[in-house]
Amino acid sequence: MTEIIQHAISTDITFLDTSDIYGPQTNEVLISKALTGLGREKVQLGTKFRFKYESSNHMDVSGNPTYVKYACEASLKRLGVDCIDMGALKELVEEGKIKYVGLSEASASTIRRALVVHPLTTIQIEWSLWRRDAEE
Protein backbone atom coordinates (compact mmCIF):
# COMPACT_ATOMS: atom_id res chain seq x y z
CA MET A 1 0.00 0.00 0.00
CA THR A 2 2.83 2.44 0.77
CA GLU A 3 4.13 1.93 -2.77
CA ILE A 4 0.77 3.06 -4.17
CA ILE A 5 0.86 6.21 -2.04
CA GLN A 6 4.47 6.91 -3.07
CA HIS A 7 3.55 6.41 -6.73
CA ALA A 8 0.64 8.84 -6.36
CA ILE A 9 2.98 11.44 -4.87
CA SER A 10 5.56 10.86 -7.63
CA THR A 11 2.85 11.55 -10.22
CA ASP A 12 2.04 14.93 -8.65
CA ILE A 13 -0.77 14.02 -6.27
CA THR A 14 -0.30 16.73 -3.65
CA PHE A 15 -3.18 16.31 -1.18
CA LEU A 16 -3.71 13.26 1.03
CA ASP A 17 -7.05 13.07 2.85
CA THR A 18 -7.22 10.90 5.96
CA SER A 19 -9.51 10.18 8.88
CA ASP A 20 -9.19 8.28 12.11
CA ILE A 21 -12.13 6.14 10.99
CA TYR A 22 -10.43 4.99 7.77
CA GLY A 23 -8.89 1.67 8.65
CA PRO A 24 -9.61 2.55 11.47
CA GLN A 25 -6.47 4.62 11.98
CA THR A 26 -4.19 2.41 9.90
CA ASN A 27 -4.35 4.77 6.92
CA GLU A 28 -2.44 7.43 8.85
CA VAL A 29 0.30 4.94 9.73
CA LEU A 30 0.55 3.90 6.06
CA ILE A 31 0.84 7.54 4.98
CA SER A 32 3.58 8.09 7.56
CA LYS A 33 5.53 5.11 6.20
CA ALA A 34 4.98 6.24 2.61
CA LEU A 35 6.27 9.75 3.35
CA THR A 36 9.50 8.42 4.89
CA GLY A 37 12.28 9.45 2.55
CA LEU A 38 10.01 11.41 0.20
CA GLY A 39 9.87 14.63 2.16
CA ARG A 40 6.87 16.04 3.99
CA GLU A 41 6.87 19.20 1.87
CA LYS A 42 5.66 17.27 -1.19
CA VAL A 43 2.10 16.92 0.12
CA GLN A 44 -0.62 18.69 2.04
CA LEU A 45 -2.28 16.52 4.69
CA GLY A 46 -5.90 16.73 5.76
CA THR A 47 -7.56 14.65 8.42
CA LYS A 48 -10.93 14.35 10.05
CA PHE A 49 -12.03 13.03 13.41
CA ARG A 50 -15.36 12.77 15.13
CA PHE A 51 -15.83 9.16 16.15
CA LYS A 52 -14.77 8.29 19.68
CA TYR A 53 -14.07 4.59 20.09
CA GLU A 54 -15.79 3.40 23.26
CA SER A 55 -14.86 -0.24 22.67
CA SER A 56 -13.72 -2.44 19.80
CA ASN A 57 -17.27 -2.65 18.45
CA HIS A 58 -18.82 0.66 19.51
CA MET A 59 -18.23 4.26 18.40
CA ASP A 60 -19.87 7.51 19.50
CA VAL A 61 -19.84 10.79 17.60
CA SER A 62 -17.94 13.40 19.60
CA GLY A 63 -17.32 17.07 18.87
CA ASN A 64 -16.17 17.69 22.43
CA PRO A 65 -13.14 20.04 22.31
CA THR A 66 -11.13 17.81 24.66
CA TYR A 67 -11.75 14.79 22.45
CA VAL A 68 -10.97 16.72 19.25
CA LYS A 69 -7.63 17.85 20.69
CA TYR A 70 -6.89 14.27 21.75
CA ALA A 71 -7.83 12.99 18.27
CA CYS A 72 -5.61 15.63 16.63
CA GLU A 73 -2.64 14.67 18.81
CA ALA A 74 -3.20 10.99 18.00
CA SER A 75 -3.36 11.76 14.25
CA LEU A 76 -0.15 13.80 14.46
CA LYS A 77 1.58 10.87 16.14
CA ARG A 78 0.29 8.27 13.65
CA LEU A 79 1.15 10.50 10.68
CA GLY A 80 4.60 11.22 12.11
CA VAL A 81 4.28 14.97 11.51
CA ASP A 82 4.32 18.13 13.61
CA CYS A 83 1.46 19.85 11.82
CA ILE A 84 -1.63 18.89 9.85
CA ASP A 85 -2.29 21.22 6.93
CA MET A 86 -6.06 21.14 7.29
CA GLY A 87 -8.03 20.37 10.41
CA ALA A 88 -11.10 21.29 12.38
CA LEU A 89 -10.69 23.84 15.19
CA LYS A 90 -9.58 27.42 15.74
CA GLU A 91 -7.67 26.53 18.93
CA LEU A 92 -5.58 23.97 17.07
CA VAL A 93 -4.63 26.67 14.54
CA GLU A 94 -3.62 28.98 17.37
CA GLU A 95 -1.51 26.19 18.91
CA GLY A 96 0.21 25.60 15.55
CA LYS A 97 -1.04 22.01 15.26
CA ILE A 98 -3.03 22.66 12.08
CA LYS A 99 -2.67 25.32 9.40
CA TYR A 100 -6.24 25.62 8.14
CA VAL A 101 -9.81 24.83 9.19
CA GLY A 102 -12.21 22.86 7.03
CA LEU A 103 -15.46 20.97 7.38
CA SER A 104 -16.59 17.66 5.98
CA GLU A 105 -20.23 16.81 5.22
CA ALA A 106 -21.54 19.96 6.93
CA SER A 107 -24.99 21.47 6.57
CA ALA A 108 -25.47 25.11 5.53
CA SER A 109 -26.38 26.08 9.11
CA THR A 110 -23.23 24.38 10.46
CA ILE A 111 -21.10 26.23 7.90
CA ARG A 112 -22.66 29.56 8.91
CA ARG A 113 -21.98 28.84 12.62
CA ALA A 114 -18.38 27.82 11.88
CA LEU A 115 -17.67 30.97 9.89
CA VAL A 116 -18.50 33.06 12.95
CA VAL A 117 -15.70 31.29 14.85
CA HIS A 118 -12.97 31.03 12.19
CA PRO A 119 -12.54 31.33 8.40
CA LEU A 120 -12.93 28.06 6.51
CA THR A 121 -10.39 27.02 3.91
CA THR A 122 -12.31 24.06 2.54
CA ILE A 123 -15.68 22.39 2.67
CA GLN A 124 -15.73 18.73 1.68
CA ILE A 125 -18.97 17.28 0.35
CA GLU A 126 -19.81 13.80 -0.83
CA TRP A 127 -20.27 13.66 -4.58
CA SER A 128 -20.00 10.40 -6.44
CA LEU A 129 -21.85 8.23 -8.90
CA TRP A 130 -23.98 7.07 -5.97
CA ARG A 131 -24.52 10.42 -4.23
CA ARG A 132 -25.41 13.32 -6.53
CA ASP A 133 -27.20 15.45 -3.90
CA ALA A 134 -24.63 18.25 -4.23
CA GLU A 135 -25.96 19.02 -7.70
CA GLU A 136 -29.39 19.92 -6.38
| Residues catalogued as catalytic | 22
CA distance 89 to 94: 9
CA distance 6 to 61: 32
Contacts of 116 (CB under 8 A, 6+ apart): none
CA distance 104 to 102: 7
Q: Are 99 and 84 spatial neighbours (Cβ–Cβ below 8 Å)? A: yes
| Closest of 53, 1, 69, 9 to residue 29, by C-alpha | 1
The alpha carbon dihedral of 99, 102, 104, 110 has a sign of positive
